[in-house]
Amino acid sequence: MKSLYKNTVYLSLSALLTLSACDKKLDLRPENNLTEASLLETKVTTERLLMGGYYEQFLAERYVLNLGDMSTGIAAATVNNYYTGSLDPKTDEVFTIWSGHYRIINIADVIINRLPSTGNYDENAKKQFIAEAKFLRAFSYFRLITLFGENAFNAQGAAKMGVPLRLDAFERYDERQLLSRSTNKEVLDRVVKDLEEALPDLPATTANIDLHARAVKSVGKAFLSRVYLYLGDYSKAIQMADEVLADPAYTLALNPATVFPNNSTLVQSGTNPLNIKFDKEVVYGYPVSYNAYLNNSSAHKSFVGMGTTFIDPAFANTYAANDIRKSSMITSKLVSGVSRLVSTKFTHPSQFDNMMVIRLAEVVLNKAEALAKREGNVQPAVNMLNLIHQRAFPAGSKPALYTTANFTDGASLVAAILQERRWELAFEGHDRFDRLRNSMPINVDLSATKYALPIPQKEIDISMGLIKQNPGYIQ
């Protein structure tokens, strides 16, 4: 990963300074057109721009992965506005997420639309870069719609407000290029279209596990399994999951505790903290370490922003006592003089390292849930559940295997699978969205009118009111 992240830090800066969106608009200023053309002309410079998109994704995801569990009470923090819904559209709390993903979209739009006519190099390489850009764009629009879309996964929410769907770079300060919010369905249809179009031209997964942080075919399929599951297209979710599970480059770890590296000694041992070796269970993520910045105060500050994240004791108590995900992966530490429970999945106190966006365990559970929702209480779905539940216990003290006799119907099996998702994927940012797509309350205190985050006021203002605020935040 050194070649990706170290180069990204240095090489993407020049691209991002000239090509990323400004703070108030999704734009490429006119004077940057020549720079854009020169960036896309060669394979090396195009790839550097693409790496800038991946790096921007990492920066944006640092906040979303925390948000997912802080919303539901699995995780908490010294300040937790996501649980209470006390989010001010005028602050940077949500604008950072919104603008970060639109920067990614802007980079992707440049590559998708300009590269075919501008790049002077191998057509297959150009097709791959465009496919990766479509993956990045789809990923960001999916994130934006799950966060800001009004009732995005509610049966009646298809025609409700989603997010502005920009499919070409904002070229200049021109109010005719301002967009209103597209519907949830329009945005989600584009997500699926981009991913399906990207798959043929994404590179095949190889045994080189260093491909964790770039989109290859299995990454696209794993993400599609999630998207199809969210959309209720269970047959396609199963198909994509099966194809990922058949890829020998990825293997479910025998013990969940071994999946997450301990980065606390990287600097002292001389290991390059930008070159973390992820376990083969990780399909896609960002293998970087907070500890790389311990001796660099300015860089350190850029990785601190959410406050120390800790675990709600009530949630920790839902695990069985000998569940490895509790006994070996939850510990206590002093946080501001108070003993708190924290997850050992992450070395960074705010979960900014070991960032695993897609693990094979999620893909297994995607298939289990899709099977149960499509076919009911069937043994193949139970078998998928057993894969994850059984490995969470030490040899010699494993519980009895689940069978269909443990569940009264498909709904009770789905409930068990969703509970397993909470245990297995805790602190990895899934619970808020699992609840939303299953029409479950995010938490007992949050009003349903605030299930969608507020649209940043800056975006409403710069669009001269064309972009409308979500109803729960209209004063």
- The residues near 98 (Cβ < 8 Å, ≥ 6 apart) are 144, 148, 455, 456, 459
Residue 31 burial by Cβ neighbours in a 10 Å radius (0-12, 13-18, 19+): exposed
Do 257 and 188 belong together in one domain? no
Instruction: Look at residue 172 in the predicted model and tell me its pLDDT.
Output: 56
- CB 136, CB 104: distance < 8 Å: yes
Structure tokens at 56: 């921007």
Q: Indicate the burial class of 208 (C-beta count within 10 angstroms; 0-12, 13-18, 19 or more).
A: exposed
Residue 406, burial from CB neighbour count under 10 angstroms (0-12, 13-18, 19+): middle
Are 167 and 243 in a shared domain? no
Indicate whether 296 belongs to any domain. no
* 261 & 404 share domain: yes
What CATH number does residue 361 fall under?
1.25.40.900
Residue 324 has a pLDDT of 98
Query: How far is 72 from 193, CA to CA, in rounded Å?
Result: 31
- Residue 98 and residue 22 share a domain: yes
Q: Cα–Cα distance between 100 and 168 in angstroms, integer? A: 17
Residue 349 shares a structural domain with residue 248? yes
In this structure, is residue 290 part of a structural domain? no
| Domain at 72, CATH number | 1.25.40.390
| Average confidence (pLDDT) per 10 residues, the chain, 475 residues | 31 34 32 65 94 92 88 87 94 94 96 95 96 98 97 90 90 70 97 98 74 90 98 98 96 95 62 69 83 41 45 95 96 83 77 83 98 98 98 97 98 98 95 96 95 96 94 90
DSSP, res 76: E
Give the residues across from 341 on adjacent strands: 311, 332
146 with 257, same domain: the answer is: no
> What pLDDT was estimated at residue 218?
96
Alpha-carbon Rg for the chain in angstroms: 22
Residues 254 and 186 occupy one common structural domain: no
Domain that holds residue 16: 1-171+182-202
Q: Are residues 102 and 250 in the same domain?
A: no
* 3-class DSSP string for 299-332: HHHHCCCCCCEEECHHHHCCCCCCCHHHHCCEEE
**Does any domain span residue 257?**
yes
Q: Which residues are within 8 A (CB) of 424 and not within 5 positions of it... i.e. 6 or more apart? A: 256, 325, 361, 362, 365, 388, 392
Does a structural domain hold residue 95? yes
Number of neighbouring beta carbons within 10 Å of residue 465 = 10
Residues 1 and 133 in one domain: yes
Q: Are residues 113 and 254 in the same domain?
A: no
pTM recorded for the entire structure: 0.89
Same domain (yes/no): 321, 248: yes
Residue 59, domain member (yes or no): yes
Do 325 and 196 lie in one domain? The reply is no
Q: Please count the structural domains in the chain.
A: 2
Task: Provide the pLDDT for residue 293.
Answer: 44
Cβ atoms of 441 and 450 closer than 8 Å: no
In whole angstroms, how far apart are CA 373 and each of 75, 230, 264, 358, 380? 28, 12, 42, 22, 12
What does the alpha-carbon distance between residue 149 and residue 187 come to, in Å, rounded to a whole number? Answer: 9
Q: Is 285 among the domain residues?
A: no
Query: Quick one: pLDDT at residue 257?
Result: 95
CA distance 418 to 360: 16
Q: Which residues pair with 36 in a beta bridge?
A: none
Cβ contacts of residue 12 below 8 Å, gap of 6+?
48, 49, 51, 52, 55, 56
- Report pLDDT for 342: 87
pLDDT at 173: 52
Does residue 176 sit within a domain?
no
User: Residue 390 falls within a domain, yes or no?
Assistant: yes
